[in-house]
Chain A
Amino acid sequence: MWLLNCCSCNSDRLHINQLCASSRHNARCASCLLSVPPAVIMHLMQDKKVLKCFFFCPLQIRFLLLFSRQGKVRLQKWFTPLTDREKKKVIRDMIMLVLPRPPRSSNFLQWRDLKIVYKRYASLYFCAGLEQRDNELLALEVLHRYVELLDKYFGNVCELDIIFNFEKAYFILDEFLMGGEVLETSKFAVGATMEEADTLQETMEEYMSKPAY
């Protein structure tokens, strides 16, 4: 597996795996998500823009998005560095792909070279982008566990809870996922640490008699 300089954004994150190198596959830039056809890869490789050599791509969740049926983003977490413009493009694509899906479709989609796993909970769509080799059935469980955690924390969570307490939703997520990998598999641990951290926050508020945000 190699990394090349991307021909579009010039970052050094154009992933070339065995299949790409043997001209069978498009390669993808991990920064701008540009898909590069084999012909161009050969050209780049010939230009000796090969920077690093390693064996594989990590198997992590690439991004997690929460958006409403109206297409409003409620939470976005990126585990690969992207520019704001690229992020907006991904968000737009996801919303356009997922919202019009007929009911009772499967929860998986192919988008560029990512697997998209989404699930609707009440009015909110939870949508994650996975690497090709990842287990999409388990990703559904990850989404479900996150919903359970939110539900436990807020008590019968609804979209409004997440809108008004979006920072809490992020804190919970950070206790559950880190760098695109599951951090804690216990159902109770996340809630317990959240509670403890929250009290830490409040006591400090009182101590400083400072207005909360």
Chain B
Amino acid sequence: MPAPIRLRELIRTIRTARTQAEEREMIQKECAAIRSSFREEDNTYRCRNVAKLLYMHMLGYPAHFGQLECLKLIASQKFTDKRIGYLGAMLLLDERQDVHLLMTNCIKNDLNHSTQYVQGLALCTLGCMGSSEMCRDLAGEVEKLLKTSNSYLRKKAALCAVHVIRKVPELMEMFLPATKNLLSEKNHGVLHTSVVLLTEMCERSPDMLAHFRKLVPQLVRILKNLIMSGYSPEHDVSGISDPFLQVRILRLLRILGKSDDDSSEAMNDILAQVATNTETSKNVGNAILYETVLTIMDIKSESGLRVLAINILGRFLLNNDKNIRYVALTSLLKTVQTDHNAVQRHRSTIVDCLKDLDVSIKRRAMELSFALVNGNNIRGMMKELLYFLDSCDPEFKADCASGVFLAAEKYAPSKRWHIDTIMRVLTTAGSYVRDDSVPNLIQLITNSVEMHAYTVQRLYKALLDDISQQPLVQVASWCIGEYGDLLVSGQCEEEEPIQVTEDEVLDVLEGLLVSNLSTPVTRGYALTAIMKLSTRFSSVNRIKKVVSIYGSSIDVELQQRAVEYNALFKKYDHMRPALLERMPIMEKTATNGPTEIVQTNGETEPSVVESKHLPPVTQPSNQANDLLDLLGGNDVVPVIQTTMPTKPASAGGELLDLLGDLSLSGGPPPAPAPSVPTSQPPFLLDGLSSQPLFNDIAAAGIPPMTAYNKNGLKIDFTFERANPNPNIAVITIHASNSTEADMTDFVFQAAVPKTFQLQLLSPSSNVVPALNQGTVTQVIRVLNPQKQQLRMRIKLTYTLKGSAVQDLAEVNNFPPQSWQ
């Protein structure tokens, strides 16, 4: 058999391939040759073949059949073989293939080899891919090498020990004796890896952390020597002596100084020294400064030092290097919670970064800008952010828009400003906003009574300009329907009133109905608006005509609305004015508004939405009116008309429940009927109430109860009726703890009789904080199809002051509303 071609030869040949197919063909041919050579157990050329295989592997071709050959190479006596064998093992194998365990013995032998380079290869492979089993077997050898005087082996053994500890934390103790003299080492490689090892141990175990705190003076000394020492060509990077080691020491100091006064005190001086003396013209100096800032912010440093740190970041913001600006924004974002005012001082610079061309920087600047908005600067900041929203790339618009909504809701200086801002967002980034912004804006508008005329005028003008931004068009249609009379009467104090006639308004709305740009939902809004105008305008005949035309619309949803409205004109004309009355003012509920979560590139900002319990509300006397209020912009009219009079008793319960929910606790605006084209009357109501916004409004009416109160642990139940299925009771448990110690490992379990079905959702936490400082909430859903009396057995387990507590209880005193 002829000698296989050499590696370089193969590479050269493969590189001549002009197409992917040609390359694949060459590789397949070569792989076949290599396979047959492997089969023949050819020892002479194994190394060459594996090397070629590694090249093909890098090009993305399968090379797993070389795995065993790598092991054979490792077992060979020749250094060349071992070198390629270990390289192959690191590239082709990992801890998930059992094959790797076959290496353990070879590595063990090589760790005791007489040549340091062979030992080095073995250490490197173990430190790169050793599995936990392998680490357990070889930790002893690693520990021995950590104590040698050979610095080449010692540094590798130190990092290998790091890997062992990462894989098998309980082996940490074993390396403790060997760490004693590590820091007195002169060789920087050993020193660096030792610091890495110490960091690893400190971060993993509080005991180690306490043990190594005594090293702070020594570390400070090493760092001082580094910054004071003169030029050393071996470790110099643009005038800075061994930045890698400096950063590592700073990082270890950070861990040692964290929440420890004495250690922090001991490192204050050196940190100040590094912060002021480091040369900042090059990236490497800034890398050290950056690390120093992080350390200062993390330990219990003096206030002067903290100001210095924030100022360094402020200087970073002005740096020409984009990387430094990026780092500054990222770290300011981290510190903005703790040092808000200090960061606030750099506001204008941060806002300037919004104009940067680099998307990474823009994103960070946007996040930071939103974090800086407060009641004092909202007008100015919003101006900048709205300008940014106008000009930014589409990928930013959704996040930016929800950020603006959130900030506006929190800090709006006036209602008018709030409405203007949201309207501005809808006009500039309408297609990017979240779905719930339409009902939110409608609610906001309804509640600002004095602004109605102004708003409807503004919206009408916006509609004349542009009907492509659907959310805006929807809000505008709703408002025109609701406040059409104000629009036509031209009474507006805030602005120059515009003169429009009823026909012009109807023209615009009809235009929406026929426009290609309108979505079905928008058309629904428009049709309802036209219908409402029938009581506000005099041109009823025109409206009747429009409505009847859509009675044969191809869109089922639209058709249904039209047919129902038509019926309203014909059969129930006497009720029409009452039905189409203006919507009442809606109170705010906890779940309203843009949800309090700002999506920032995958990470959700901390936010805890407390499930707020609403006080029981008394049923109003005039239920018919409440029913009518429902209409807002919805299609339920005829349904209620027909069901109400016919079976007031039977359907009453559920209906009233729903209605009570909606109108009493002042739910959010009647959102547009979701695009469910069902026409079953009862479900229409359900569709209405299944809007996510309505979630905990349904709780009204069912009083809360205490299910358990013993040994300081109190468990309260609050109720809501699940929509759309009234057979499901949604019970939220609130566990609170009045003892002076936290209850940990808290687990709540519940069981119900067989006629029920129970679903337990995940708890908000498993720790109940002491002294009633917080509650754990958990949601239980009980399906009760037969409407039987609810009974429940609960089991509680938790750990209090180290001892496990377990208790059972029966809950029988559920309020009747919760299950009827």
Contacts and interface: CB of A to CB of B under 8 A. Distances in A.
B8 interface: yes
A178 B129 CA distance: 10
B318 to A, nearest CB: 15
A77 B104 CA distance: 21
A201 B327 contact: no
A156 interface: no
A138 B287 contact: yes
A31 B87 CA distance: 21
B427 interface: no
Contacts of B166: 58
A70 interface: no
Chain B binding surface SS class = helix
Given A170-B87, A185-B242, A83 B96 contact: yes
A75 B87 CA distance: 12
Interface in B169-199: 169, 188-189, 192-193, 196, 199
Interface string B302-320: 0000000000000000000
Contact of A141 (B287, B327, B605): B287
B287 A135 contact: yes
A145 B242 CA distance: 12
Contact of B244 (A43, A55, A79, A185): A185
Contacts of A204: 78-80
Interface in A71-126: 72-76, 78-79, 81-84, 88, 102, 104-110, 112-113
Nearest to A174: B124
Contact of A201 (B79, B128, B129, B357): B79
Contacts of B244: 138, 141-142, 182, 185
Given A43-B762, A138-B244, A73 B58 contact: yes
Interface in B54-89: 54-55, 58-60, 62, 78-80, 83-84, 87
Contact of A211 (B44, B55, B204): B44
B688 interface: no
Contacts of A54: 169, 204
B11 A164 contact: yes
Contact of A22 (B96, B203, B765): B765
Contacts of B163: 179
Contact of B48 (A109, A135, A211): A211
Contact of B762 (A45, A135, A188): A45
B7 A102 contact: no
B326 A186 contact: no
Nearest to B8: A164
B27 interface: no
A134 B283 CA distance: 16
Given A181-B196, A196-B117, A211-B44, A137 B11 contact: no
A109 B363 CA distance: 11
Chain A binding surface SS class = mixed
A205 B83 CA distance: 13
B323 A213 contact: no
A75 B58 contact: yes
Contacts of A56: 203-204
Interface in B116-154: 117, 120, 123-124, 127-129, 152
B606 A24 contact: yes
Contacts of A152: none
Contacts of B204: 54-56
Contacts of A104: 322, 357
Nearest to B151: A189
B603 A108 contact: no
Given A112-B602, A171-B87, A81 B326 contact: no
A200 B119 CA distance: 14
Residue among A26, A185, A200 with most chain B CB within 10 A: A185
B358 interface: yes
Contacts of B607: 24
B300 interface: no
Interface in A31-83: 35, 38-39, 42-43, 45-46, 52, 54-56, 58-59, 72-76, 78-79, 81-83
B58 A166 contact: yes
Contacts of B763: 42, 46
B55 A166 contact: yes
B243 A138 contact: yes
Nearest to B152: A193
B279 interface: no
A186 B189 contact: yes
A102 to B, nearest CB: 7
A47 B446 CA distance: 46
Contacts of B606: 22, 24
Contacts of A113: 602-603
Nearest to A37: B604
A35 B601 CA distance: 13
Contacts, number: 216
Contacts of B60: 73, 88
A186 B188 contact: yes
A135 B607 CA distance: 28
Contacts of A174: 87, 124, 128
A140 B79 contact: no
B523 interface: no
B80 A201 contact: yes
Nearest to A74: B58
A145 B192 CA distance: 15
Contacts of A112: 602
A184 B189 CA distance: 4
Contact of A140 (B159, B245, B323): B323
B520 to A, nearest CB: 31
B156 interface: yes
A7 to B, nearest CB: 14
Contacts of A23: 764
Contacts of A189: 189, 234
Contacts of A187: 233-235
B381 interface: no
Contacts of A81: 94-96, 129
A83 B400 CA distance: 37
B640 interface: no
A26 to B, nearest CB: 6
Contact of B117 (A107, A110, A197): A197
B237 interface: yes
Interface string B579-607: 00000000000000000000001111111
B758 to A, nearest CB: 15
Residue among B54, B243, B357 with most chain A CB within 10 A: B243
A24 B603 CA distance: 7
A163 interface: yes
Nearest to B49: A213
A73 B284 CA distance: 28
Given A24-B606, A46-B762, A213 B283 contact: no
B603 A26 contact: yes
Contact of A205 (B58, B80, B361): B80
Residue among B96, B323, B607 with most chain A CB within 10 A: B323
B45 interface: yes
B155 interface: yes
A139 B603 CA distance: 23
Nearest to A104: B322
Contacts of A178: 123-124, 127-128, 156, 159-160
Contacts of A200: 79, 115, 117
Interface of A: 11, 22-26, 35, 38-39, 42-43, 45-46, 52, 54-56, 58-59, 72-76, 78-79, 81-84, 88, 102, 104-110, 112-113, 135-138, 140-142, 145, 163-164, 166-167, 170-171, 174, 178-179, 181-189, 193, 196-197, 200-201, 204-205, 208, 210-213
7 contacts: A22-B765, A42-B763, A137-B324, A166-B54, A186-B234, A204-B80, A213-B51
Given A46-B763, A213-B7, 5 more contacts: A110-B363, A140-B283, A166-B54, A178-B160, A179-B159
| 8 pairs of A and B residues whose beta carbons are closest in the complex | A137-B287, A42-B762, A106-B322, A213-B48, A138-B287, A81-B94, A213-B51, A184-B189
